[in-house]
Amino acid sequence: MIYNKEIETMNIPQMQELQLERLRDLVKRVYEKVPFYKKKFDELGVKPENIKTLSDISKLPFTTKDEMRETFPYGLLSTSLDNIVEIHTSSGTTGLPVVAGYTENDRTLWSEVMARCLAMAGADKSDTIQNAYGYGLFTGGLGVHHGAGSLGATIIPISSGNTEKQLQYMQDFKPTVLTCTPSYSLFMAEIARENGLDFRNFDLKAGIFGAEPWSDNMRVEIEKKLNLKAYDIYGLTEIIGPGVSCECEAQNGLHINEDFFYPEIINPETGEVLPEGEKGELVFTTLSREGTPLIRYRTRDITWLFRDNCSCGRTTIKMHRILGRNDDMLILKGVNVFPSQIENILMKIENTEPHYQIIIDRESSQLDNVELQVEVEESFFSDETKDMELIRKQIYKEMKQQLGIALNIKLVEPKSIARSMGKAKRVIDKRDLPKAGEI
Amino acid sequence: MKVKQISVFLENTTGRLAEVTKTIANAGINLRAISIADTADFGILRIIVDKPDKGMEVLKNAEFTAKLTEVIGIILDDEPGGLMKIMDIFNRNGVNIEYLYSSLINENGSVVIIFKVEDIDHGLEIVKKSGLEAISSF
């Protein structure tokens, strides 16, 4: 089923007309209402009336994640706080989180795009959706929740975790659609196996997985172990949350809800716009957002855009599954982490030195297993094991508090962390994920 | 009266202990006492050697994380109740023991028990008062 047939099967010229109309409104609005953008536009000498065609968008400045942090918390709101009905923040932080504010219309928009995505994965009002994305400031849980509401499906708002209960609910409520991170789906499969449960006896037909990068190999594994069709969904808090794009039954690229989120691919070095089919950094302009509208937001995600005559009938532009990132951000257990954050936390712990290495593995448990190896320096070496255990626990606690994820802390001998060209290799990622270096 | 002990941080991987013993053997240093405290991930090797300063130097040159700690070495009466006697004195006088281990047998056949106590000066004072025999070096 196509949720919004008019929009999702619109011909290209009509879509572009709609996008241009919305873009011009947006540019005018942010210029008038967001001082941050007025300043940026003025610096480039660009006025709202200079935007006459869609390709004129390249005259507009980019927005970066750092700028979003610098304007924390409400610097990018284009409307009074009175009109904001919901707030979300990005997972993980390098200092301050990124804040997204939603007006009533934004929430309606979000529900609409999420309903479209759920429908892309074959869901309709007759379905029961077990929503195992986390509820809270993270956009995953509530994004799906809003979308299911618009679709009229039955939602089980179980949130993430409590795996045995998840499996029990699958038997009791017989959900037909599962939404969670791809790694959590495999973890559930593992726990099911340990408890003698077989997904073939469940009613799940589709899983909509996102919030972390995954691969086609992982799709094969998930589909086999969970006995369902696995769909990739993409989104980010800055733009709206989940619902920016999603795979349809063809499982060949993600249809972008381009009437709301205008995509561009740029050369990350020069900022130059690249044609369809060329790989580069994905950039979005939120054509209709009211709370925190963004002009040319640099996602740092690498992919390419394409159009095909999709068998599903949708005409919206597609993006390929994310290929990697052009910065060193890691997504660990669904949380964004920069190695520099780990370094800063270590430096704040008395006497420890930032000689560390992060080893990420997904083999044994299907969840990210993250080991942080910290070199033992003379400054905090003690001849008593209890002192060393105390330091290990302190590092664990600080990491947990500040990053929001549990790392396994391992104390290692100095110099055991390989140094190359005087610079230590900080991250060893053994997960089967696309790597930036392969792009 | 204080004895210098060398502690070395070791990962729980094969060959690391062999590497330490090789390093000190090559420097012509003799081991007098040895013990390891181990956890799931790492171990702390504690040794008493005949030339502690030299020992530290060669271990550091070999890039081990090592440090010197002061401990008390008490000659044990080689008879039933020998250790109990020391423990009893420490207990009665509030000497808090972090860990202890035994030395190798000396040339004259005696054995020394190495004590790491919370407050070494207090510990030594008690040792002296109680007529126990502490050694200063091997």
Cα angle: B133, vertex B134, B135; to 5 degrees:
120
* A434 pLDDT more than 80: no
Per-residue pLDDT at A396:
94
Dump pLDDT digits (tens) for B109-136: 788 999 999 999 999 999 999 988 888 7
Establish how many alpha carbons lie within 13 A of residue B16's alpha carbon, considering only the half-sphere containing its beta carbon: 19
- The secondary structure of A45-107 as a DSSP string is T--GGG--SGGGGGGSPPB-HHHHHHTTTTTT-SS-GGGEEEEEE-SS-BSBPPEEEEEHHHH
Establish how many alpha carbons lie within 13 A of residue A359's alpha carbon, considering only the half-sphere containing its beta carbon: 11
Residue among B16, B46, B67 whose CB faces A381 most closely: B67
CATH 3.30.2130.10, chain B: domain bounds: 3-69, 71-135
Per-residue pLDDT at A94:
52
Average pLDDT over residues A72-79: 94
Which of A154-168, A186-200, A348-362, B94-108 shows the lowest mean pLDDT across its residues?
A: A348-362
Show Cβ contacts of residue A61 under 8 Å, excluding neighbours closer than 6 positions: A37, A40, A41, A43, A44, A46, A295, A296
Q: Which CATH superfamily is domain A331-438 in?
A: ANL, C-terminal domain (3.30.300.30)
Q: Between chains, do B42 and A416 touch, taking CB under 8 Å as contact? A: no
Residue among A389, A410, A413 whose CB faces B65 most closely: A413
Which of A146-150, A347-351, A387-391, B99-103 shows the lowest mean pLDDT across its residues?
A: A347-351
Residue among B10, B38, B46 whose CB faces A383 most closely: B46
Residue among B11, B44, B64 whose CB faces A383 most closely: B44
Query: Residue A50's pLDDT band (boundaries 50, 70, 90)?
Result: very high
**Three-class SS state of B58:** helix
Name the CATH architecture for the domain at A5-327. Answer: 3-Layer(aba) Sandwich (3.40)
Q: Between chains, do B9 and A411 touch, taking CB under 8 Å as contact? A: yes
| Inter-residue contact B112 to B106 (CB < 8 Å) | yes
Residue entry with tokens 């993980």 = A92
Residues in a beta bridge with A305: A319
Q: Which CATH number fits domain B3-69: 3.30.465.10, 3.30.70.2740, 3.40.50.300, 3.30.2130.10?
A: 3.30.2130.10
Q: How far apart are CA A28 and CA A287, in angstroms?
A: 12
On chain B, the residues whose CB falls within 8 A of the CB of A378 are 65-67
Show Cβ contacts of residue A81 under 8 Å, excluding neighbours closer than 6 positions: A74, A101
Q: Between chains, do B98 and A376 touch, taking CB under 8 Å as contact? A: no
Per-residue pLDDT at A417:
66
| Inter-residue contact A257 to A233 (CB < 8 Å) | no
In terms of Cα–Cα distance, which of A224, A164, A159, A220 is closest to A191?
A164
What are the tokens at A33? 């209402």
Cα angle: A181, vertex A187, A191; to 5 degrees:
145
Q: Between chains, do A389 and B39 touch, taking CB under 8 Å as contact? A: yes
The secondary element (H helix, E strand) that includes residue A22 is: helix A12-33
Which of A43-52, A95-104, B22-31 shows the lowest mean pLDDT across its residues?
A: A95-104
Domain ranges, ordered by start, for chain A:
5-327, 331-438
Average pLDDT taken over every residue of chain B: 91
Q: Is some CB atom of chain B closer than 8 A to the CB atom of A438?
A: no
Which of A136-145, A287-296, A319-328 shows the lowest mean pLDDT across its residues?
A: A319-328
* Chain B: closest CA distance from residue A382 (Å): 8
| Residue A438: Cβ-neighbour burial (10 angstroms; 0-12, 13-18, 19+) | exposed
Task: For B95, list phi and psi in degrees, rounded to 5.
Answer: -90, 115
Question: A172-181 as b/e, with b when 16 or more CB fall inside 10 Å?
Answer: eeebbbbbbb
Strands A177-180 and A128-131: parallel
Per-residue pLDDT at A366:
66
On chain A, the residues whose CB falls within 8 A of the CB of B5 are 383
Average pLDDT taken over every residue of chain A: 90
State which residue of chain B sits closest to A375, comparing Cα positions: B65
What are the tokens at A408? 């396994």
| Inter-residue contact B19 to B62 (CB < 8 Å) | yes
* A23 pLDDT more than 60: yes
Per-residue pLDDT at A154:
98
Q: B71-135 maps to which CATH number?
A: 3.30.2130.10
Query: Residue A420's pLDDT band (boundaries 50, 70, 90)?
Result: very low
Q: Is some CB atom of chain B closer than 8 A to the CB atom of A372?
A: no
Query: Residue A96's pLDDT band (boundaries 50, 70, 90)?
Result: confident
* A300 pLDDT more than 80: yes
Query: Residue A428's pLDDT band (boundaries 50, 70, 90)?
Result: confident
User: Cα dist. B126→A309, B73, B77, B79, B83 in Å?
Assistant: 90, 13, 17, 22, 15
Assign 3-class secondary structure to B3-17. EEEEEEEEECCCCHH
Q: How far apart are CA B67 and CA A120, in angstroms?
A: 63
